[in-house]
């Protein structure tokens, strides 16, 4: 389908597609921007209106149409359809309007997009691999269309955002994540592949829905599930031995153990664990620069004892240890609150990944409790007097006024991060947090919220979203051909993000950079991550100048390419 350049077409890409075959290929379609010479060469005359438009004019037309739509969900569908029609135009729209469109293509709109995925599904994107495909994965992956794949995002749809099991509808998440990889991290969309592993769903509404596109059966678990994952990983390694694979939105019972099982076998990471940890650590590092207190002095309460909450604790603890604390002293700075209250050595049925952060029951023996036998979040806040409160629970409104006011009684500048997505699941409205703390809180949220005026001051809320982290990590990993993705690389990403905080140099400025600067942020993070990979021996011994050059060369930008026709292709 694509040829090399001929001598008389230097700088032009040779294609063997013609007519509707070219217009139906979203990677190469340029729509009304095809030049007259290209229309002559590819048999497009009559298939397009006669006027040739620039990409700037196309962007204006599409943005006008998008802004005229009544709801963000309609805009989400509009963007998905544009992505399936003309990817270059889609990414040009996105990169030039990223602050406006990121909430449309990803959180919070993607949550509803996943819930309604079966209703809005129109044309194939990525791969749906179901249990009956277990012994046919090599055959599926062998399609020449996938020869250029370098980056995969995969989900099994069991824990989509804070919405739970959405089965095959979870495909909206890998599609959205890879769109951000390309828009913010410069990863060529031709090299990306979203995958959903369909092992069934326990969502009764979906199972009863005749329009549901996934397997109509309850989730397969246990050894059969593990065997399917193993077959998938082995087939991926065989087809793409140097691929970067991102695990996404797996249930906590699988997320950590799959990461630990495979992280040393192929280049992979879990964004819910490591990406969330990195952006939260980076935001916290920026916040303590505002408060003037050291990271090692923070008392941290995390609501949500799943893989995301423990991942956050792990990475911040690593930073504390590097700053001089012992591992045990650093671990004691964290208080994890799960569904049964504070996690202690008396808590039953702990997951293996939670055990590093249990509190000794003797430590809490003399605490004053509202109710004997369970140490609730308010009890923890009252007794610990935390400086930092993080929410990754998916429970809307659980950071109550009583809890926030109790925290603010003891801390001059409380750092409060209600991070759950989408907005319907956020632990507290950030405007309420500002009111309850008399404007003293430093607030970060997982989804976008509008600025809030309080007592004559405008409070902006840092969108503490993984989108700041994983595009740069992916860009670095692919650019320098890192063999693995380490926790040290995610800590390097966090430090690079904190260094870009506008609040470092401006009083009252935002905690994190504006979203419209995400490509620049991703590049800076990529440089820091690549240098950390070099320091850990995970890539070649490259100079700083070589790292910079490789990252710049890898960074794809959404611009139309000139084409010329080559014989022997599809007609």
Q: CA-to-CA distance for 172 and 177, rounded, in angstroms? A: 9
Whether 503 contacts 509, CB under 8 Å? yes
CA distance to 92, 98, 115, 156, 252, per residue, from 84 (Å): 14, 19, 20, 22, 32
Residue 162: its pLDDT value, please? 84
The one catalytic residue in 91, 106, 468, 563 is: 106
For the question of residue 106 being annotated catalytic, the response is: yes
Quick one: DSSP state of residue 355? G
Query: Read out DSSP for 49-66?
Result: -S----HHHHHHHHHHHH
Q: Please give the sequence-ordered ranges of beta strands (E in DSSP) within 145-271, or none if there are none.
A: 151-155, 192-198, 244-247, 268-270
Domain ranges of the chain: 56-250, 274-467
327 is in an annotated binding site: no
Q: Quick one: tokens of 106?
A: 């990803």
Report the relative pairing of strands 452-454 and 457-459 from DSSP bridges. Answer: antiparallel
Sheet holding 127-130, edge to edge: 127-130, 192-198, 151-155, 244-247, 268-270
**Runs of H (alpha helix) within 68-169:** 72-83, 87-96, 98-105, 109-115, 117-120, 137-141
The one catalytic residue in 177, 252, 317, 554 is: 177
**Residue 126 CB burial class (10 angstroms; 0-12, 13-18, ≥19):** middle
What CATH number should be reported for the domain whose range is 56-250? 3.40.50.10380
Same fold: 56-250 with 274-467: yes
Of 131, 136, 129, 225, residue with least CA distance to 171: 129
Q: CA-to-CA distance for 191 and 289, rounded, in angstroms? A: 39
User: How do the pLDDT tens digits run along the chain, 571 residues long?
Assistant: 444 333 345 578 999 999 999 999 999 999 999 999 999 999 999 999 999 999 999 999 999 999 999 999 999 999 999 999 999 999 999 999 999 999 999 989 999 999 999 999 999 999 999 999 999 999 999 999 999 999 999 999 999 988 999 999 999 999 999 999 999 999 999 999 999 999 999 999 999 999 999 999 999 999 999 999 999 999 999 999 999 999 999 998 899 999 999 999 999 999 999 999 999 999 999 999 999 999 999 999 999 999 899 999 999 999 999 999 999 999 999 999 998 899 998 888 888 889 899 998 888 888 988 887 789 999 999 999 999 999 999 999 999 999 999 999 999 999 999 999 888 899 999 999 999 999 999 999 998 899 999 999 999 998 999 999 999 999 999 999 999 999 999 999 999 999 999 988 887 788 999 999 999 999 999 999 999 999 999 999 999 999 999 999 999 999 999 999 997 543 3
For the question of residue 563 being annotated catalytic, the response is: no
Residue 8: its pLDDT value, please? 44
Residues 6+ apart with CB under 8 A from 479: 526, 530, 547, 550, 551, 553, 554
Residue 510: its pLDDT value, please? 84
Residue 351: its pLDDT value, please? 85
Helices 470-479 and 172-185: angle between axes, nearest 10 degrees:
70
Residue 568: its pLDDT value, please? 55
45 is in an annotated binding site: no
Residue 401: its pLDDT value, please? 98
Q: Quick one: tokens of 453?
A: 């005026």
465 is in an annotated binding site: yes
272 is in an annotated binding site: yes
Residue 6: its pLDDT value, please? 37
242 is in an annotated binding site: no
Residues 6+ apart with CB under 8 A from 278: 315, 466, 469, 473, 490, 491, 493, 494, 497
Contacts 24+ apart (CB under 8 A), 91-95: 91/179, 91/182, 91/183, 91/189, 91/558, 92/55, 92/58, 92/59, 92/558, 92/559, 93/59, 93/62, 93/63, 93/66, 94/179, 94/183, 94/558, 95/183, 95/184, 95/519, 95/557, 95/558
Q: What angle do CA 462, 511, 311 make, to 5 degrees?
A: 70
Q: CA-to-CA distance for 252 and 310, rounded, in angstroms? A: 10
Residue 110: its pLDDT value, please? 95
Residue 434: its pLDDT value, please? 97
Which of these CATH numbers, 3.30.465.10, 3.40.50.150, 3.40.50.720, 3.30.470.20, describes 274-467?
Answer: 3.40.50.720
3-state secondary structure of 390: strand
């Amino acid at each position: 389908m694509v040829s090399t350049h001929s001598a008389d077409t230097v700088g032009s890409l040779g294609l063997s597609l013609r007519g509707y075959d070219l217009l139906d290929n979203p990677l190469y379609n340029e729509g009304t921007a095809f030049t007259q010479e290209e229309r002559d060469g590819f048999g497009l005359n009559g298939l397009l209106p006669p006027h040739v438009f620039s990409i700037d004019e196309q962007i204006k037309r599409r943005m006008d149409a998008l802004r005229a739509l009544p709801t963000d969900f309609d805009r989400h569908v509009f963007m998905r359809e544009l992505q399936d029609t003309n990817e270059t135009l889609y990414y040009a729209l996105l990169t030039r309007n990223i602050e406006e469109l990121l909430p449309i293509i990803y959180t919070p709109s993607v949550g509803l997009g996943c819930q309604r995925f079966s209703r809005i599904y129109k044309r194939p994107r990525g791969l749906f691999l179901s249990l009956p495909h277990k012994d046919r994965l090599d055959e599926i992956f062998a399609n020449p269309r996938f020869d250029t794949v370098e980056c995969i995002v995969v989900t099994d749809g069991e824990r989509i955002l804070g919405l739970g099991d959405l089965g095959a509808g979870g495909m909206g998440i890998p599609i959205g994540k890879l769109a951000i990889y390309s828009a913010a991290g410069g990863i060529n969309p031709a090299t990306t592949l979203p995958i959903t592993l369909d092992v069934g769903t326990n969502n009764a509404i979906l199972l009863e829905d005749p329009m549901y596109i996934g397997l109509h059966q309850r989730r397969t678990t246990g050894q059969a599930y593990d065997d399917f994952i193993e077959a998938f990983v082995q087939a991926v390694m065989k087809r793409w031995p140097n691929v970067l694979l991102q695990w996404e939105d797996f249930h906590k019972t699988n997320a950590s153990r799959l990461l630990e099982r495979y992280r040393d076998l192929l280049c992979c990471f879990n964004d819910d664990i490591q990406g969330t940890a990195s952006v939260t650590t980076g935001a916290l590092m920026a916040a303590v620069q505002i408060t003037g207190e050291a990271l090692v002095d923070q008392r941290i309460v995390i609501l949500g004892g799943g893989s995301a909450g423990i991942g956050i604790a792990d990475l911040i603890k690593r930073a504390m240890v590097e700053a001089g604390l012992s591992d045990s002293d650093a671990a004691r700075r964290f208080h994890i609150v799960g569904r049964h209250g504070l996690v202690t050595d008396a808590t039953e049925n702990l997951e293996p990944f939670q055990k590093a952060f249990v509190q000794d029951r003797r430590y809490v023996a003399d605490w004053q409790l509202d109710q004997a036998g369970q140490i609730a979040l308010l009890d923890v806040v009252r007794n610990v007097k935390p400086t930092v409160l993080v929410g990754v629970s998916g429970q809307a409104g659980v950071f109550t006024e009583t809890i926030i006011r109790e925290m603010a009684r003891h801390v001059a500048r409380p750092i409060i991060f209600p991070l759950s997505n989408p907005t319907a699941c956020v632990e507290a409205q950030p405007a309420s947090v500002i009111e309850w703390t008399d404007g003293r809180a430093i607030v970060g949220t997982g989804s976008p919220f509008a600025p809030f005026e309080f007592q004559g001051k405008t409070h902006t809320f840092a969108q503490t979203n993984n989108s700041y982290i994983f595009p740069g990590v992916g860009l670095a990993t692919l650019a320098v051909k890192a063999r693995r993705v380490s926790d040290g690389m995610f800590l390097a990403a966090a430090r690079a993000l904190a260094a870009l905080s506008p609040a470092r140099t401006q009083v009252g400025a935002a905690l994190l950079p504006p979203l419209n600067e995400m490509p620049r942020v991703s590049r800076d993070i990529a440089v820091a991550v690549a240098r950390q990979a070099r320091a850990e021996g995970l890539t070649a011994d490259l100079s700083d100048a070589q790292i910079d050059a490789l990252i710049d060369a890898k960074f794809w930008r959404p611009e139309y390419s000139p084409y010329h026709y080559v014989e022997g292709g599809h007609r």
